[in-house]
Chains A and B, each alone.
Chain A
C-alpha cells in the first residue's frame, strides 16, 4: 500500500537516514522504534507525503509520489489515517468536528452516530463540544487517534500515540488498532514503549523496525 524504496532524507544537507526500504502491505503490522532524534517522525512524514525524499522512491497504492499531483496526493491521504505526534487539531473547532474533519475535508457525509460512538469508545464522550486547547495531553491523543480511524483507512500511521496515556488506556487504544488491522488495515506505530510492543505481539504478528545509525533495521528478535 505504501512502499519506500532506497529512500534517503535529510532536512538541510546532512542525511538523517538513507537506503530505507519498507513495504506496508495489506494487513501488515509494524512498530518503529529508535532513539529520540533518529528520524521516526521524519520517516512517518515520508509515508504520508508531507516530505519528499531526497533520494529514492515513495509509492502510494502503487503510484509514485512524484507523479501523483496535488489532488492525487489528497486522494491518497484520504485512504491513510495519521496520528501526529503533536496531534495538529483545528483549535477553533469542537473536538467532535475535529474528529470528523477527515470526512469533511474529503467531502464525504458525516455519520453523526458513528462519530459519537467512536468518541465514546476512546473515552471522550463528555468532551465532544470542548475546544482542543482545553484538553489534557492524553485526551488530545485519544482524539487524534479517533480522527485517524474515522475514515476506516487502509493504512494507519501513528506517531507515539500512547505517549501521554496510562497503561489501561494504552491497551484499549491498541486493541482498537489491532481490530482495524484484523479487518485489513496496514498499521505502523512509532513508539518507545516496549511494553506496548510486547502486548501487541501477544495478539498479532507484528514486525519491529528500528532506526539507528542512519539505517532501518529489522529488530524484534531481542524482544
Chain B
C-alpha cells in the first residue's frame, strides 16, 4: 500500500535524469576503456628500447664506441646501455643474410641498446651531445614519437573517469532536488504519519524505495540505449584510430551493466539524505 501518494512530475523527472545520465555514462565508460586500450598498445611499443648506431672507420670504431657508452652512462634518464656483441648482431642478421655471413669483413655499424628509466631521457640533448663527441653515432628512437600520444591517451582516460564522477554527482544533485520537491509536496502526509507513530525510517523508506526504483529503471533504459548506440557505430577499420576502438570488446560489454545498480545506489543515498533532512523538521 502506498502511504505516500503517487507523485506525477518528480517520477518522470527522475526517470528521465537517470536515463540520460546512464546514457552519457556508458559513453564515458567506452571512452575510458578505449583510451586505456590505446595507451596500453602504444605504451608497449614505447617500452621497447632505443638504439644508438655507430658507423665509423674501423680505426675509430673502438674509440667512438667507448665515448658513446660514456655519454650514455652520464645521460640522465638512461637506465642501461649495452653494446650488442658481434655474435649477437650476427644472429640478428642471420635471417636475412644466412649463417655464413663474414661479419668481420663487412663494415657493420655497432649497435648499443639503450633502455630508458620511466622518466625517459631528453632525446634532443642526447642527440646533440653524441653529434659533438662521437660524430659517427646516431640515436635511433623511432618509438619516441608515441610518448605524447600515450600521455594523451592516459589524459583522455582520466577525463573519461572524471566525467563519470561528474555524472554521478549531477545525478545525486538532481535526484536530491526531485526527492526534495516530492517531500515538500507531501509535507502533510509526512506530518500525519509521524502523528500516528511512524518512525523516520518507515517514512523515509516510502520515498527512498520509490526514487531508487525509478533511478534503476531509468538507468537501465539509458544504459541499454547507450550500449545499442555503441553497437550501431559503423566499423571504421584500423584507420579509425581512437574511433575504431570506441566501444567494448568481449567481456568489456559487462562493464556498462554496472551503471544501473550504481545509479540506484546514488539515488538511494541522495533520497535517504534528503528525507532525513526534511524529517528532522517534523515533530
A interface, CB within 8 angstroms of B: 48-52, 70-71, 73-75, 77-78, 80, 82, 84, 88-90, 92-93, 97, 101-102, 104-107, 147
Contacts and interface: CB of A to CB of B under 8 A. Distances in A.
B201 to A, nearest CB: 8
B283 interface: yes
A105 B1 CA distance: 11
Nearest to A88: B192
Contacts of B279: 70
A77 B196 contact: yes
Given A90-B189, A90-B192, A105-B202, A97 B1 contact: yes
B200 A70 contact: yes
B152 interface: no
Contacts of A74: 194, 197-200
Interface of B: 1-3, 5, 189, 191-200, 202, 279, 283
Given A49-B283, A90-B192, A105-B3, A77 B197 contact: yes
27 contacts: A48-B195, A49-B283, A51-B283, A52-B283, A70-B199, A70-B279, A71-B199, A75-B197, A77-B195, A77-B196, A77-B197, A78-B197, A82-B195, A88-B191, A88-B195, A90-B5, A90-B189, A90-B193, A101-B192, A102-B197, A105-B3, A105-B193, A105-B198, A105-B202, A106-B196, A107-B202, A147-B196
Nearest to B200: A70
Contact of B283 (A50, A80, A97): A50
Give me the 6 closest cross-chain CB pairs, A-B, nearest first: A105-B198, A78-B197, A77-B197, A92-B5, A74-B199, A102-B196
Contacts, number: 62
A89 B279 CA distance: 19
B283 A106 contact: no
B198 A106 contact: yes
Contacts of B199: 70-71, 74-75, 107
Given A77-B194, A107-B202, 12 more contacts: A50-B195, A74-B194, A75-B199, A77-B196, A77-B197, A80-B197, A84-B195, A92-B5, A101-B3, A101-B196, A102-B197, A106-B198
A174 to B, nearest CB: 23
Contacts of B189: 90
A48 to B, nearest CB: 7
A51 B283 CA distance: 8
A202 to B, nearest CB: 32
A32 to B, nearest CB: 19
Contacts of A70: 199-200, 279
Given A74-B200, A82-B195, A104 B283 contact: no
B283 A105 contact: no
A106 to B, nearest CB: 5
Contacts of B192: 88-90, 101
A89 B189 CA distance: 8
A84 B191 CA distance: 13
A177 to B, nearest CB: 18
Nearest to A72: B199
A105 B197 contact: yes
B25 to A, nearest CB: 35
A34 to B, nearest CB: 23
Nearest to A87: B192
Given A50-B283, A88-B192, A90-B189, A106 B3 contact: no
Nearest to B194: A74
B160 to A, nearest CB: 43
